[in-house]
Structure 1
Amino acid sequence: MLKIAVISDIHANLPALKTVLNDIENRRADQVYCLGDLVDFAPWPNEVIDLIRQNRIPTLMGNHDERIAFDLPVVPLLKHGPFETQCRMAAIDFTRNAITKENKAFLATLPRHIQLTFGFSDRDVRLLLVHASPRSIDEYIYVDHDGEEVASMMAEKNADVLVMGHTHQSYIRAIPGPTVKTAINCGSVGRSKEADRLATYLLITVADSKTAFRPDSLQFELIKVDYKIEETIGAIRQSPIPDFYADFLSVGEVVK
């Protein structure tokens, strides 16, 4: 039996990352993968990157990592009003000024996807890890996304299981077709948009590869972990990052 943890969207929230990694260790996971967005919105971008690197966690490039790595401009999002857009720009500027040269260079090396193959006695099961979607680093795939389109994206990449982040809203969804596929959003460690604001990650349990594949050969569990969110809220308020991001963590409402 193999246990794999998948984390995503830390967004410079060091207390949340530390708590999640401790929970993963307690659950005796064999492998850990990160889907990206290590930076922005909390005051520990370097500390988060350092911890990821110290633990040798294979990590994908998120859209926030890409922007910092390559000095890309901030493009306003239609879903944000003028005030949030202003706050977003200020928070990203904080990261640009704080990040070390070494960590910026590290972000530039991150890949866009990771594919894992699990061999059973009668078939292989292919799992694709992406930050946002198989075709874009910043596409939002919510739980109600058109199922046929998700199935098409997965078929194009020959994936039986698709694991994503980016939306900060976790779910596990069966995608119907000739063979049932599974689309998963592992949620966000550091900036959950779910009402409970808990740090969320995915735990995958893989059965013995010597056996034939069964419906329960791959088990998926979304893990929610309470962390010292007040520490993060306080640190944001004491930093140049706008209080908007501290208020966000303390509100506790679902946001798209």
Structure 2
Amino acid sequence: MMRIAFISDIHGNANALDAVLKDLEFKEVDKVFVLGDLCFRGPEPKRSLELVRSLNTEVIKGNADEWVVRGIHVGEVPDSAIEIMSNEREWTLSQLDQNDINYLSNLPTELMLEFEKVKIHAFHATPKNLFEVVQPSESDEVLQEKMLDSEADIYIYSHIHKPYIRYLDGKCIINTGSVGLPFDGLDKSSYALVEIYEESFQTTIVRVNYDIKAAINKYYESDYPNSEQMIKVLLNAKV
């Protein structure tokens, strides 16, 4: 049996990532993959990125990583949010160095994996787009069109910060949820665990407690722009 974890959407919340990595160690996970959005919109972008890189594993790019590299374009967020989010991006850049930016810039956008004949296709939002939103409530037709574009058994993505597992036409679709910024009303980190037994598999959404007060204090200790709004999101686990 092999245990494989998929984590994503850390968003600079290194306290949450600490707790998740401790949980992965406790569960004796064999392999971990990271599906993007590593450092933007949180108080500890540098430490979050360092923790991810210390895993020495495969990491893919998320939309927030792309934003750090090249900025936020008009139409990618609501007009009312672009100024403050651009300020947040500038603050994040100030915490990173050129090596960090190069690392984010060069990340791939998908993973094609195979373990014990179980094929896994992992990506951030959809296989062809870092920004597209596919919610848990989408119709079978939408999921079929936007997600199932390969010969995988399991499709794993992140981006929406709302974990779920769903089956469609014999395929398993998993959303990891978010390590650092959950949006489903439960203020616990989330990741996906896949356990493979020869040619069969079992999937689980894991929720992990972390020290939210410590994460909030990191916002207060920094000069992070928009900190009050981000603290509300942490506390409510909703946007």
TM-score, L = length of structure 1: 0.87
Shift of 1:92: 1.5
Mapped contact 1:39–1:45 kept (Cα < 8 A): yes
Give deviations 1:135-188, integer Å, cap 9, x for gaps.
Answer: 21111111111212322444422222110000001000111x3xx111110000
* Range with bigger deviation, 133-142 or 89-98: 89-98
Rounded to whole Å, the distance in 1 between the matches of 2:56 and 2:62 is 17
Q: Any unmatched runs of 5+ in structure 1? A: none
Rounded to whole Å, the distance in 2 between the matches of 1:49 and 1:229 is 19
Give deviations 1:65-118, integer Å, cap 9, x for gaps.
Answer: 11222x23343556x472x44432222121122211111111112110001123
Q: Over aligned residues, Cα RMSD in angstroms?
A: 1.7
Pick one of 246, 252, 256 that aligns with 2:231: 246
Pick one of 80, 98, 103 that aligns with 2:100: 103
* Range with bigger deviation, 22-31 or 226-235: 226-235
Q: Which residue of 2 aligns with 1:91?
A: 88
Q: Which residue of 1 aligns with 2:9?
A: 9
Shift of 1:237: 2.5
Q: Which residue of 2 aligns with 1:136?
A: 129
Q: Which residue of 2 aligns with 1:200?
A: 190
Identity of aligned residues (%): 29
1:1-256 aligned at under 5 Å gives the runs 1-69=1-69, 71-77=70-76, 80=78, 82=80, 84-119=81-116, 124-175=117-168, 177=169, 180-207=170-197, 209=198, 213=199, 217-241=200-224, 242=226, 243-252=228-237, 254-255=238-239
Rounded to whole Å, the distance in 2 between the matches of 1:197 and 1:85 is 26
Mapped contact 2:148–2:155 kept (Cα < 8 A): no
**Greater Cα radius of gyration, structure 1 or 2:** 1
Instruction: Give SS of 2:103's match.
Output: helix
Relative to 1, partners in 2 of residues 1:244 and 1:76: Cα closer, same or farther, differing over 3 Å? farther
What amino acid maps onto 1:238 in structure 2?
Answer: E
Relative to 1, partners in 2 of residues 1:155 and 1:223: Cα closer, same or farther, differing over 3 Å? closer
TM-score, L = length of structure 2: 0.92
Mapped contact 1:168–1:193 kept (Cα < 8 A): yes
Rounded to whole Å, the distance in 1 between the matches of 2:79 and 2:216 is 22
What amino acid maps onto 2:234 in structure 1?
Answer: L
Rounded to whole Å, the distance in 1 between the matches of 2:12 and 2:100 is 13
What amino acid maps onto 1:73 in structure 2?
Answer: I
